[in-house]
């Protein structure tokens, strides 16, 4: 893979909040995503992240309906016919002395890229209802819930746009396209030596 192809894959790998219905995602699909995350870099190589894979419809519905979607979009919520087909719950095993926030970012991006390569789409949800997760999946106190990752097939148009007035909040335009502002390269490179 060359630089141009990698950049295109990263640009295409966006969080989606509206999913097509009746799209079956099986456990094997989720296991393949986690297998990519499994071999990514890990702080001190401690590998503290663990995962719960969710494909059963009643659990997916419960997770989707109790999560808070799209914090920057006022008066918007996901409708029942837009919920994902599956979820991945990312956990930190507190018994392992690692740096889980580093690992979470690296692993999430790997899962995102792997999903995109399989024509799947995802959305990270730090707002997943942690209490609901603990009750549904009998998660003990050795594990900290870091993220919910919705998995499915996107049913929305997403576009990267330039940041204006230093506002990076995503929004929907008049055509209901999900617009994601990104800073220009000169705005984020603060030194060259």
Rounded distance between C-alpha atoms, residue 61 and residue 68, angstroms: 13
pLDDT tens series, the chain, 193 aa? 899 999 998 988 888 888 998 888 999 999 999 999 999 999 999 999 999 999 999 999 999 988 887 777 777 777 888 999 999 999 999 999 889 999 999 999 999 999 999 999 999 999 899 999 999 999 999 999 999 999 999 999 999 999 999 999 998 899 988 999 999 999 999 999 9
Q: What is the CATH number of the domain that holds 190?
A: 2.20.180.10
* CB neighbours of residue 99 within 10 Å: 13
Could you tell me if 51 and 96 lie in one domain? Answer: yes
Could you give the number of structural domains in the chain? 2
**Angle formed by the axes of helices 100-117 and 3-12, to 10°?**
100
Could you tell me if 84 and 168 lie in one domain? Answer: no
Could you tell me if 58 and 115 lie in one domain? Answer: yes
The residue segments making up the domain with residue 171 are 157-193
Give the contacts of 45 (CB within 8 A, at least 6 positions apart): none
* CB neighbours of residue 51 within 10 Å: 19
């Amino acid at each position: 893979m060359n630089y141009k192809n990698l950049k295109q894959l990263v640009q295409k790998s966006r969080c989606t909040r509206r999913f097509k219905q009746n799209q079956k995602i099986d456990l094997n699909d989720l296991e393949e995503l986690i297998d990519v995350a499994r071999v990514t870099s890990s702080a001190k190589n401690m590998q503290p992240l663990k995962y719960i894979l969710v494909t059963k419809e009643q659990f997916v519905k419960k997770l989707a309906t109790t999560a808070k979607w799209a914090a920057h979009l006022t008066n918007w919520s996901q409708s029942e016919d837009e919920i994902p087909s599956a979820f991945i719950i990312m956990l930190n095993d507190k018994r392992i002395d690692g740096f889980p926030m580093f690992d979470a970012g690296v692993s999430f991006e790997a899962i995102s890229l792997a999903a995109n390569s399989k024509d799947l789409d995802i959305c990270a949800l730090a707002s997943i209802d942690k209490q609901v997760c603990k009750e549904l999946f009998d998660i003990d106190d050795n594990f900290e819930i870091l993220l919910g990752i919705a998995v499915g097939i996107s049913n929305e148009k997403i576009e990267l746009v330039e940041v204006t007035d230093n506002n990076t909040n995503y929004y929907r335009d008049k055509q209901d396209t999900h617009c994601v502002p990104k800073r220009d390269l000169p705005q984020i490179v603060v030194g060259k030596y």
